[in-house]
Amino acid sequence: MKKFPAKMRISRTRAVMAGLGGVFVLALAGAELLPTEHSNAAAPPKGPNAVDVDTAVATAADTPVYLAGLGAVQALNTVTVTSRVDGALDRVFFTEGQVVKPGDLLAQIDPRTYQAAYDQAVATKAKDAALLANAKVDLERYAKLAPQNLASKQTVDTQKALVAQYEAQLKVDQAAIDNAKTQLDYTRITSPIQGRTGIRQVDPGNNLHATGTTGIVVVTQLQPISVIFTLPEEDRLAVAQAMHAGPLQVNAVSRDGKTDLATGTVMLVDNQIDQTTGTIKLKASFPNTDEHLWPGEFVNVKVLKQTRQNALTIPTAAIQRGPKGLYAYVVKPDSTVEIRPVKTAEDTGGVTVVTDGLKAGERVTISNAYRLQDGAKVSFGGGEKAADASPAGSAKP
């Protein structure tokens, strides 16, 4: 085995140590350059790095304030059309889904039995009328003979009673005619209200009974139409005050809150509060000429509580909550933001009324708030918009 001098072995050892030291230094340098596992990638940028944000302009405008509720559409009138006499359903004259008016013929019960009863009642009255006429002639004759003692007083009195009997009988006969006529008329089944027919429940040929519960069809009045809805009991006083000032406007909105279906008026507030739910019922009426509302449909309801004159509004997304209360990031002319404490009132469908802290025309950020801090630089790739002063959503004071 070849042996190296001690001096040479020491030199090689120093070289190896120097190499390892260089590797260690490079590793430390790399550790400074690479982010650690716990570094905050979303930390607010410093210096020239800018956060891309969307902004909105604080806008002063007349802003409606709504009370929000949930309701169900209810027909103003719903009638189950049934037969008022017994008999076979002869004919049906309506089409399912047809719009009908009061008096429109819907169905016909076989009228022959009732026609015969009516004819018989008329004939009976005619017979009794003839008997009455004859009795009156006899009475007149007896009355002329009585002064000559050719007819007794008893005969005259008896004849008078007979005339009165026939006169009363004629009234009975007329009542029988009226009843028979009514029964005959009932064989023609007509619509009692204006509305839309539903699905036919009985086919021609079936026997119907006046005491039966099965209807031929249901007619539902759609114009106007009602909505029964609830509001928290705390809103009752505000509603009452608004109704005293004049007709209280109410809007029916689709369940997703995106479409205004109809505009109507609050008709009444229920006379008691539901203690179980802490709500009170209200009833509103809608003309529904376009039939956007349908019985049984659930809708969101917005009651116009008041209109704030020249109110300052910003999108609700601009409002942030911190340890010291509400604030917004206001964009300054140098494209940096400052934290501005604000005071707010109603939040109406994504738009908030600001009562203090902002001025009309100032810009606020509505996105990426988690990346911002006081003095942060921002850019405006998302564009700018103004707060909508006439939102379609609901509100709560």
Query: Is the per-residue pLDDT at 268 higher than 50?
Result: yes
Quick one: 199 and 254 in the same domain? no
Quick one: 188 and 95 in the same domain? yes
CATH code at position 320: 2.40.420.20
Quick: pLDDT tens for 157-207.
Answer: 999 999 999 999 999 999 999 999 999 999 999 999 999 999 999 999 999
- Asked which of 170, 203, 218 is the last residue of a domain, the reply is 218
| Spatial CB neighbours of 239, under 8 Å, sequence gap ≥ 6 | 67, 231, 248, 266, 269, 282, 303, 305
Quick one: 150 and 248 in the same domain? no
Query: What is the domain extent for residue 212?
Result: 79-218
Identify the pLDDT of residue 213.
86
Quick: pLDDT tens for 53-106.
Answer: 999 999 999 988 889 999 999 999 999 999 999 999 999 999 999 999 999 999
**27: in domain:** no
What Rg, from alpha-carbon coordinates, does the chain have?
A: 45
CATH code at position 304: 2.40.30.170
Quick one: 141 and 212 in the same domain? yes
Contact assessment for residue 129 and residue 136, using Cβ atoms and an 8 Å cutoff: no
Orientation angle between helical segments 153-185 and 112-145, nearest 10 degrees: 160
Judge if pTM exceeds 0.75.
no
**45: in domain:** no
- Asked which of 308, 333, 365 is the last residue of a domain, the reply is 308
CATH code at position 131: 2.40.50.100
What phi-psi label fits residue 284: left (phi over 0), alpha (psi between -120 and 50 degrees) or beta? beta
Query: Is the per-residue pLDDT at 20 higher than 50?
Result: no
**292: in domain:** yes
